[in-house]
A and B are shown apart, each in its own frame.
Chain A
Amino acid sequence: MSYIPHTDADRKTMLEACNTKSIADLFSMIPEQHRFPDLDLPSPLSELEILQELQELSESNANTTHYPCFLGAGAYYHFIPSLINHMLLRGENLTAYTPYQPEISQGTLQTMFEFQSMISALTGMEVANSSHYDGATSTAEAIIMAVNHFRGKRTKIIVSPTVHPQYRQVINTYTKGMGLTVLGEENLQADTDDLITQLDDNTAIFIIQSPNFLGTVEDIEGIKNAVHDMGALLCVITNPISLGLFKPPGEYGADIVVGEGQPLGIPMSYGGPYLGFFATRQKYVRKMSGRLVGETVDKRGKRGYVLTLTPREQHIRRDKASSNICTNQGLMVTAATIYLSTMGKNGLKHLAELCYHKAHYAANKINELPGYSVINNQPFFNEFTVSCEKPVTELNKSLFDNYGLIGGYNLENDYPHLENHMLLAFTEMLSVDDIDSLVEALGAI
């Protein structure tokens, strides 16, 4: 199968125009011994054949439409209103690129502008960019922004151990060549009081997640003062659905708010593509990386939108740029914008309440089971940690094999002290029957 339009007659005319005898001659500058390698790839397939093969692969997965899913840990199975996918499949959204030419890209630009507006509203911050790759890279970019803000003079980064473990791994990878000291890994049991003692006037940024990886809503009011007393920036990683209900980080003094935008109308799709949102205060806007859309007017005085503050970016600043980021997550931004427009303020609140109530119903039930106890002693949102008597791998295997349930996240993977601890997540996709099945199964295993 090929999508090339050339007829033999076309090729002949075109080669003549190029003064070339054959297509192969167009490649005469390529070193001859390596030219036209014999690639050992499977034979080409028709569209029909590849669809059949993919169908088989897809169906060999256990997917969450068939198996109630209690796994969250940074990606959540939520309801996605049908209209979103239909709008994403419109060619004008799907097959446009970065809006370099604003006169013929107002659709993409205005969508990004509305996304920035809604992320600002949701997080309670003054400005938001039009996305990074995912929650983890957004967090890494927050560190880069803080280091740039202090012109490299502050080199200590404090990352709470209850920040998503994969985010912490990405932070470690990103910061390796930057001459920074990243604290937080050395004691995985450290609480916020312990972390605060690490603050000093060399600290650039303090990163905390709320609800944290174990599900707990952190008390950030107290932390904020300690961080700001040292002149450092406070970065809060959050779940955007929780903000339908909870006080936004902007209200309790965060300087940067980042997170994973997947819950905002983006399918789990085995981990991507998602989007990382990134919001901050107006005073830091010039230090923020990532694509940014601003309102302006055209020559006739009509409102329009353009990419703005581009002099921060790599295509102008090259080695002096604040980040190498080039694309944003385009279509995922469109998805999230349409999602937030459809949900509206009451829809998002209702959704957050559903998640909250289901999680708390489950927590109460599980707490009553002998051998299980919920360890979160502060409020939680849609996720909580349960200590169990058996290894989580054993429980999960039985939940899947015998009950057709996708169990929770095994916290021992990342926190050795949390042996036999499971992180369970609840969304509107789980019915009371699903939850009762889980409780019953846990009781029986």
Chain B
Amino acid sequence: MKNSEPTIYDISSPGRKGVNLPIPDVPIEDIPDDLLRKDLNLPELTQLDVIRHFQQLSQLNHSIDSGFYPLGSCTMKYNPRINEDAARMPGFLHSHPLQDINTIQGNLALMYELQELLKEIGGFKGVTLQPAAGAHGELTGIMMMRDYHLSRGDTARNKILIPDSAHGTNPASTTMSGLEVIEIPSDSRGNVDLDILKSKCGDDVVGLMITNPNTLGLFEEQIKEVVKIIHDCGGLIYGDGANMNALTGILRPGDIGFDVMHYNLHKTFSTPHGGGGPGSGPVGVSEKLVDFLPAPIITIIEEGDEDNPPLFGFTTPKHTIGRIKAFNGQFGVLVRAYTYIRIHGSSGLRSNSEHAVLNANYLRSKIEKTYNLPYKRACLHEFVVEGCWQEAPNIHALDISKRLMDFGFHPPTNYFPLIVREALMIEPTETESKETLDKFADVLLQIADEAKTDPQVLIEAPHNTPNARLDEVQAARQLVLCCRPAYLPEPEPMQT
């Protein structure tokens, strides 16, 4: 990896230009003086300056393309490049979101088909493609559940039950919807504690939000009882689809009674994570909730015949929660996911999940004698170990993570789920080879050994990354959130 790079403002030089725009081909119109800004503090660079700067920066990143990235719950698998070419086809890339539907049937056909594919994969009756990310899908789903009860005059329901192993977005989405969170503890096998669940069920429950497999990578063994308990009290089941890479083609959540679920297209269907986004979080729903989907959804508004294709358009569901995002979802991400699903088909998707689960269990088997597994049963696509040992009292999961960087690996997810001490959550994904898993396991075993014999090497890690450990306390205390004024050149008068 490269070492460091000055800020873009540091390398700016007044008078340099990165773009050559045409001179106006229309008459110049007076612009009222009082509207004009006095200066604009943007850098001034040539194109080559810009390319070198961002090329250098990119080389400071670990990425899937640079090496193994077993970040639990994030499904960092190979991102096929064909998806990039697909999303950049001019008809997709240069279409305006408000164009007349007659001029944009290709986009609408693709979105309609993707809705159908996702319905079939999840076992749902309706799908919205609007939500921009998984958390956004959660918010959408919870709002639909809330409005479903309200529309039936069932106005006393204001609680969402959430297992303690859940992603933090689950309780946050619930609060944003104006509902109250009731946390349900896990039992000794990592399942939802049924007795406690039953005790919290009543006519004030909107529903349960559950991740299956849960964030321990474990399948909820009593899922059918859980669903029944919730449905019996009049509640609905929300499935967090973050872990669908374990179950695609293996189990349809809709078949076992899930009422709502969001898909993370950037996880299960391998659209690139892009350094933190864009994601996409379509939501599937059961019959009960079809009328509550966000508006609009894509439907066939005129059936086709032998000579003419159907006409696709927008429809507003009867009791819609409303619009959740401007325009038509993260369309470019939808094109990528559609491409990925069509390439794989039913057999390919199932094979992906099968090999994701095989890889996780294989890796687990290689390290389980050395790293404590808090729940000793077969995992699905990921597993959680404890990153600590009695013999190494000063070593924490974070030290193991930082040491992994020295060997060119991205660390697992740290300190999540919260119910495991010093958690390391490992998700290898299906596109990693046995050789990679073997190397990673060897390094984990070596690090465990170092933890006991040479702990300092972990505590001081990483040793060969662009930066050593960074001081997060100082960052929060000084709060420098943009290039310091001291870096900036004196404001230059703007050229006209």
Contact = CB atoms under 8 A, between A and B. Distances in A.
A135 B323 CA distance: 13
14 contacts: A6-B355, A51-B82, A53-B342, A57-B92, A58-B92, A94-B274, A103-B469, A120-B481, A246-B37, A271-B329, A274-B327, A306-B470, A317-B172, A349-B40
Interface residues of B, number: 202
Kindly state the interface size class of chain A when it binds its partner.
Answer: 35 or more
Interface stretch (A68-76, A185-193, A197-205): A68-76
A261 to B, nearest CB: 12
B60 to A, nearest CB: 4
Given A324-B175, A379-B32, 7 more contacts: A96-B274, A133-B136, A268-B94, A271-B328, A299-B460, A331-B274, A361-B27
B453 interface: no
Contacts of B106: 56-61
A309 B133 contact: no
Highest count of chain B CB atoms <10 Å: which of A61, A106, A340, A406 = A61
Interface stretch (B61-69, B197-205, B282-290, B386-394): B61-69
Interface stretch (A13-21, A222-230, A367-375): A13-21
A286 B396 CA distance: 29
B352 to A, nearest CB: 7
Contacts of B59: 92, 107
Contacts of B51: 83, 86-87
A273 B332 contact: yes
Nearest to B46: A342
A288 to B, nearest CB: 10
A26 interface: yes
Contacts of A344: 12, 16-19, 42-45
A11 B365 CA distance: 14
Interface string B370-386: 00000000100000000
Contact of A37 (B54, B174, B255): B255
A36 B42 contact: no
A319 B252 CA distance: 29
A189 B340 CA distance: 47
Interface in A272-318: 272-274, 282, 285, 291-300, 302-306, 308-309, 313-318
A164 B146 CA distance: 27
Given A61-B95, A106-B60, A324-B138, A341 B18 contact: yes
Interface in B326-363: 326-333, 335, 339, 341-352, 354-355, 357-359, 361-362
A346 B107 CA distance: 36
Nearest to B246: A27
Nearest to B66: A92
Contacts of B279: 327
Interface in A60-108: 60-65, 67, 69, 71, 73-75, 77, 79, 81, 83, 85-87, 89-108
A269 interface: yes
A195 interface: no
A71 B95 CA distance: 11
Nearest to B434: A10
A36 B350 contact: yes
A250 to B, nearest CB: 10
A162 to B, nearest CB: 16
A104 B410 contact: yes
A11 B430 CA distance: 12
B293 to A, nearest CB: 12
A164 B17 contact: no
Interface string B54-95: 110111111111100101001011111010111111111111
> When A and B form their complex, which 3 residue pairs have the shortest distance between CB atoms, in order from nearest?
A177-B178, A271-B327, A91-B65
A345 B40 contact: yes
A33 to B, nearest CB: 9
Contacts of A328: 276-277
A170 B171 contact: no
A385 B326 CA distance: 21
